[in-house]
Amino acid sequence: MTLTLKALSALLTYPDEALARGTAEIETALRDEALLDASAIEGLRPLLAELGGRDLFDLQERFVLLFDRSRSLSLNLFEHVHGESRARGQAMVDLLETYRAGGFEPVGPELPDHLPMLLEFLAARPLDEAREVLADTVHILVTLRDRLDRRQSPYAPVFAALASLAAAPPAAEALAEIAAHPEDDPEDLAALDAVWEEAAVTFGPDPNAGCPAGREMLSRMGPPAQPPAWAGGGS
């Protein structure tokens, strides 16, 4: 198990008391495994300190505002590359089938492309395979890092750390494609409500749709391992 990916997955989950109690253990795991350099771990310390010491209601409110209310900061990866297209639905089906083929049954309300769920899954894979999958998503990770950094969010270093673990840097073309979509403002609730009222994606098989690049990424995945207590569980 790659504890660094487990730890970063935990940091991107909805804050609760278990996460608050586990921040010291998370930092220890990051330092002991030493996959991240010292500066990357140092960058995570403000978030760890807040999760371990700030009022839980405030932490939860901020998390929802950032990641649940805003599409441009969504933790659902396919949101950034497929939007509401049917290709997203097929990619979601492919990903769910890959999880299940590996003995991993997602539970809870999150979609299969939810980043913490993917990281939990990758934590059980050999590190070189996990790095390759992260490289397939690195343009999304870098975009989210930059957007959060502009908001001076303590979550930005989590995405910086994930990008540093990827096997390759993002392609300029892929970054430009995401950047072409305007950012939404998590504080503008009326505008966000209008956006979310658009038609929902139907996540069902579509023989005329497909996502070859997504399937190439998913083919690298395999079964998960049991998470530490502070990371929760997805199976």
For residue 51, pLDDT beyond 50 = yes
Residue 179 tokens read as 């950047």
pLDDT for the residue numbered 129: 86
Percentage, residues of the chain above pLDDT 70: 75
Of the candidates 6, 34, 12, 40, the one whose C-alpha atom is nearest the C-alpha of residue 163 is 40
pLDDT for the residue numbered 170: 92
In angstroms, how far is the first alpha carbon of the chain from the final one? 15
Average pLDDT of the segment spanning 59-65: 96
Residues ≥6 apart with Cβ < 8 Å to 194: none
For residue 140, pLDDT beyond 60 = yes
Average pLDDT of the segment spanning 205-234: 44
pLDDT for the residue numbered 215: 43
pLDDT tens sequence across 90-130: 888 888 887 777 677 777 788 889 999 999 888 888 899 89
* Per-residue burial over 138-162, b = 16 or more CB atoms within 10 Å of its CB, e = otherwise: bbbbbbbbebbeeeebbbbbbbbbb
Give the 3-state secondary structure of residue 124: coil
| pLDDT bucket at 211, cuts 50 / 70 / 90 | very low
| pLDDT bucket at 202, cuts 50 / 70 / 90 | very low
103: left (phi over 0), alpha (psi -120 to 50) or beta: left
